[in-house]
Amino acid sequence: MHRSGTSLLSGLLQRLGVALPGETIAGDQHNPEGYFEWDEVVAIQERLLIDLDRWWPSEQGALPLPEGWLAHPAVAIAAAQLRQLLSVESARQQGLWAIKDPRCSRLLPLWIQLAAELDLPLQLLLAVRDPAEVTASLLHRDGPLVGMDANRAQQLWWRHNLEVVRDGQAANLSLGVIDFGRWFVEPEAQLELLLSALPSLQPTPAQRQSALDLIRPEHRRSDSAAQKLCIRPELRRLHQRLLRTPLPRRWPDSEPPRALCRQAAAGLTHQDLTQDPTRWKEWLELHRHYPAPRCSV
């Protein structure tokens, strides 16, 4: 899921000796150390989600992918492009290599299909972060740009995490869950947990220390803002469930909780506010992250 510590996890893997191929996206004010994302892969997957009318930060991004989406013409184009990239890279790489892009959470069945075609071993690592922190981070970064609100952010968190678990278990793939928050509480223990999920990775003591040096308190920028948010209890429970060891076999449906969807869809009308002025605070909270209306000339 976006804003879930995937960049920190990728940076750690790189320092531990995992190759991250391709030109990677440079850092900015939201990820100063970089995104560690193969820019060509990101561009292909972003275009595909748009073609499927599921651009990830939009309202449609919280919906399930269209029925039979793997047969969509846009998927054939994206699959051919990804297949070419993977074919070249698999012939070049000698050790462990990784691809990081939160969009893979929604498009995992395509990656499973490509890995089978190319006979590539596939290992999944899911970075999981407190839904309140993810929501706060999405509001800060994407609220002014795309009208991200707390309801949509929570729906995205729910769907992105559960679809990975569902599709990964359906394909009998190994899935390692990495808790973002634990890096800042028990970094050494968390590092051992990561390495246990990748038994073929044998970093040197210097590589281990280099990875630990990457973990800094400022990476947890949304912690204080998250404490002010009201998060649905279903998400709190799912967060705890995702951190269980071993992972449970039974899970809720990947469709976000109905109460959350109803709350997002209902909105507040002018009549609601006229009849009950006390709901102004609710209306302002709902809309405070939307872009201000532009004056049309």
Quick: pLDDT tens for 147-160: 888 999 999 999 99
Confidence of residue 35 (pLDDT cuts 50, 70, 90): confident
The two three-digit tokens of residue 272, written as one number? 């609601």
Is the predicted pLDDT of residue 88 greater than 80, yes or no?
yes
Q: What is the pLDDT of residue 272?
A: 56
Is the predicted pLDDT of residue 239 greater than 60, yes or no?
yes
Choose the weakest-confidence range: 3-12, 136-145, 206-215, 230-239.
Answer: 136-145
Instruction: Give residue-wise pLDDT tens across range 187-222.
Output: 999 999 999 999 999 999 999 999 999 998 877 776
Q: What is the pLDDT of residue 259?
A: 76
Percent of the chain with pLDDT over 70: 86
In this structure, are residues 140 and 121 in contact, taking their beta carbons and an 8 Å threshold?
no
Confidence of residue 262 (pLDDT cuts 50, 70, 90): low
Helix and strand numbers (H, E) in the chain are 13, 2
Mean pLDDT of 176-193: 96
Sign of the C-alpha dihedral, residues 155, 103, 125, 39?
negative
pTM beyond 0.75: the answer is yes
CB atoms within 10 A of CB 212: 15
- 83 three-state secondary structure: helix
In this structure, are residues 198 and 123 in contact, taking their beta carbons and an 8 Å threshold?
yes
CA 288 to chain centre: 24
Instruction: Give residue-wise pLDDT tens across range 97-155.
Output: 999 999 999 999 999 999 999 999 999 999 999 999 999 999 988 888 888 889 999 99
Confidence of residue 73 (pLDDT cuts 50, 70, 90): very high
Q: What is the pLDDT of residue 291?
A: 40
Mean pLDDT of 222-244: 87
Q: What is the pLDDT of residue 243?
A: 96
Confidence of residue 257 (pLDDT cuts 50, 70, 90): confident
Question: How far apart, in whole angstroms, are the C-alpha atoms of residue 113 and residue 90?
Answer: 16
Q: What is the mean pLDDT of the chain?
A: 88
Question: How far apart, in whole angstroms, are the C-alpha atoms of residue 289 and residue 42?
Answer: 26
The secondary structure of residue 24, as a DSSP letter, is: B
